[in-house]
Structure 1
């Protein structure tokens, strides 16, 4: 299996989330509950399919466990310099 041509970024996640919710998400705090903005399990699954194209293996349980940007950065490996090694 070949690696994806692009890597998933925070900007891509924000863009996909904004498109999915049909909302401006640029000013969201990392602790804002995305469910309160209308994100449900169907929309989370849609995002999972989009991000799978980048080679990201994330589950609905991963995303729904902490449905905030901060939680998602962690689940998606985008937590910015806090890599575990």
Structure 2
């Protein structure tokens, strides 16, 4: 996964243009509710990404979420 993949997937469930999803904007304030976050977490799990619903709750911004994903991808070697 790349940052742009992540941005596109989150923007899609929030009905936003990816360009309208800033790195430092609070995802919940921008419209990412718990149901959408749960759907994203399930989709990412199916893709093999080590990320769950609790991780989304602990990260406020796209940049924070991306940093977590990068760290997990580095640990797993993907």
Note whether the superposition's TM-score is higher than 0.5. yes
- What count of residue pairs does the alignment treat as equivalent? 73
* Structure showing greater Rg: 1
TM-score (norm 1): 0.71
Is it true that 1:68 corresponds to 2:61 in the alignment?
A: yes
Distance 1:49 1:61 in 2: 12
For the 8 Å contact 2:11–2:21, the answer to whether it is kept is no
Q: Does 1:23 align with 2:47?
A: no
1:36 aligns with 2:29: yes
**TM-score (normalised: structure 2):** 0.76
Separation of aligned partners in 2, 1:26 and 1:52: 25
CA RMSD of aligned residues (A): 2.0
